[in-house]
Structure 1
């Protein structure tokens, strides 16, 4: 069951999982303009057009932060994936992107599970996936049953309210600057 919303809406969620307090603090810093984490994410830029840039940091407790920026792609080029060992926390810091998500039973694996990458890649879904719009402050938490594809663009002019576009200081369709936390699934068990 994916969880989507503004980071501020996750206070009760994080309170329920004390092992995730360091992750919550990191995500809060990612959205705090004068923090070193925020400045580092905003500074991510590619030296080559249409290039993906990623930098990883270990946060402790088996949690890894991947700060990244990448060009958006058409939804017809969506890369559907899920994970078994890690839960993805995807936070948009600046820019915007669309995600498509669906339940694992609505997809057919394209290849066997890659244990080294904790990755399952899927064909296009059997039924239409849900489409979600992420902008600054929006967090998505994707569990093992949540097949997801991010970094997508749509006709933003017709599908996004003008108030959202005007409130976002980043030019529409500019690639997102974001962070993905890889959080071990075991941290969600009661012993933690």
Structure 2
């Protein structure tokens, strides 16, 4: 897992061929005004999902991980807590769903606070629990760029 501010993304762009495309999209697209939905960047290899939601209480969250894609999660506006745990430290609660590229897990992890301008990168070995409220539930606009594992 990586977490940093978008203004420092150039330090990470060379870690994966799709990261430069992801960070370029996050830096140049009008993220505050784009409609929620999917935006292709490099076909099915790199694409963005613009999301608007209200953060939830910890008890409503769940741990997730992906096998085919790396998540680059960027908070456009709002604040949320994002959980992180090594995949092998959690217990699978539902089998891997290949269509959704999603496995659901249970266990304990650590949390970081993500504010506007923060990005977090989650590799397949990084379980994560996004969208958790910091205090009262509040609105968040987030862009999740999916980068295919090479």
Same fold (TM over 0.5): yes
Aligned length: 149
Q: Which residue is 2:58 aligned to?
A: 75
Using the TM superposition, give the Cα deviation of residue 40 of structure 1 relative to its aligned residue in structure 2, in angstroms.
2.1
Q: Which residue is 2:7 aligned to?
A: 8
Which stretches in structure 1 are left out of the alignment for 5+ residues?
A: 31-36, 45-53, 157-172, 187-192
Q: How does 1:1-192 map to 2 (within 5 A)?
A: 2-30=1-29, 37-41=30-34, 54-61=36-43, 62-123=45-106, 125=107, 128-155=108-135, 173-186=137-150
Contact 1:97 1:135 in 2 (8 A): yes
> Over the residues paired in the alignment, what is the CA RMSD in angstroms?
1.7
Contact 1:75 1:154 in 2 (8 A): no
Question: Please, what TM-score do these two structures have when normalized by structure 2?
Answer: 0.91
Structure number with higher strand proportion: 2
C-alpha distance in structure 1 between counterparts of 2:77 and 2:143, whole Å: 10
Structure 1 runs of 4+ aligned residues shifted over 4 Å read none
Structure number with higher helix proportion: 1
Instruction: Map Cα deviations across residues 84-133 of structure 1 (whole Å, 9 max, x no partner).
Output: 0000000001111111110112211112111111110012x1xx311110
